[in-house]
Amino acid sequence: MVTLDGYAAQTLVRLGVADRIVGTGFPAPFSADTAPYEEQLAKIPVLAERVPVTEIVAAQQPDLVLTSFESFGGPPGSPKEADLVTMNTKGLTSCLRGSKAAALTDLAPTYEYVRKLGAVFRVSDRAERLVAELEGRAKAVAAKASGSKKVLVLQDNPVAGQPLQTSGAGTIAHAVITMAGGRSIFSDVSSMHAEISPEEVVQRDPEVVWVITDYTFAKLKGQELVAAVKANPLLANTTAGKQGKIISTSQYLVSFPSPLNVDGLEQLAAALHG
């Protein structure tokens, strides 16, 4: 079996079937994991730092190819459904519904993906235990959440005269905001990397700016990006800018279905209400 991305591997480790992975692509999410899982993830052979191309995947002769993305073939050169047919292998994607679906307000896609993998590997009992743990933690956060602070999601440092990138309503990030007691000011856009205008940001006046760090396209990563956003004059006239309410979470916690989505939820809730 090959996992095209680290998110899928993180779920398999928690289900106790990581020994079946012959290789993974895009291991960057492993950096956000904790013991004992980080040690197990470190043992998985890395096929590529990004999502591997079709030739590399085919060379592993996998019987199954997994991804936490909503479909195959997104990254250039990566295997499409037709390529899997040529390899005579099966493929399994996440349970994300895509940008055209209704707004995502809970972590149902994450739980569904865990259950789907549990069924495939015949460890449904482990999957149900994992889902119960994650749901319990998520419900504990929701029970304490109060208010509805207006949140702007940013994925990179804004540049004057250029569109900003935000996470739309069809994303895990949108679900996390809702569950943490926030309200996205751009719930009327849907895609994962939606473009918005700086003028619209000022008009909608966010109370909190949530920087999702570590996207591969961002020029700055981690706290360097957060520091740049805090100093950005384009946000100076917003409530968030005036009050210095700029918070952050790594995309490795809140972008794709993963058990770490609940870690991201807990982090955001603490930052919003702390």
Q: What is the tens place of the pLDDT at every residue in 253-269?
A: 999 999 999 999 999 99
Is the entire prediction scored with pTM above 0.95? no
pLDDT value of position 97 = 74
How far is Cα 260 from Cα 34, in angstroms, rounded to an integer? Answer: 10
pLDDT value of position 159 = 87
Measure Cα distances from 93 to 34, 97, 179, 188 in Å: 25, 11, 24, 26
The domain limits of the chain are 1-93, 144-273
Cα(first)–Cα(last) distance of the chain, in Å?
Answer: 43
CATH number of this structure's domain 144-273, picked from the four choices 3.30.160.270, 3.90.76.10, 3.40.50.1980, 3.20.20.140: 3.40.50.1980
How far is Cα 27 from Cα 38, in angstroms, rounded to an integer? Answer: 11
Confidence tier at 99 by pLDDT (50, 70, 90): low
On the question of pLDDT at 274 being above 90, the answer is no
pLDDT value of position 98 = 65
**pLDDT digits 0-9 by tens, 48-65:** 999 999 999 999 999 999
- Mean of per-residue pLDDT scores for the chain: 94
Nearest CA-CA partner of 109 in 264, 4, 261, 257: 257
Identical topology for domains 1-93 and 144-273: yes
pLDDT value of position 101 = 67
pLDDT value of position 223 = 93
Rg for the chain (alpha carbons), in Å? 19
Residue with tokens 């995309």: 251
On the question of pLDDT at 82 being above 70, the answer is yes
Q: Is residue 52 classed exposed, middle or buried when 0-12, 13-18 and 19+ CB atoms within 10 A define those classes?
A: buried
168 conformational bin, left if phi > 0, alpha if psi -120 to 50, beta if neither = beta
**239: its two tokens:** 């409530």
**160: its two tokens:** 């004057």
Assigned CATH topology for domain 1-93: Rossmann fold (3.40.50)
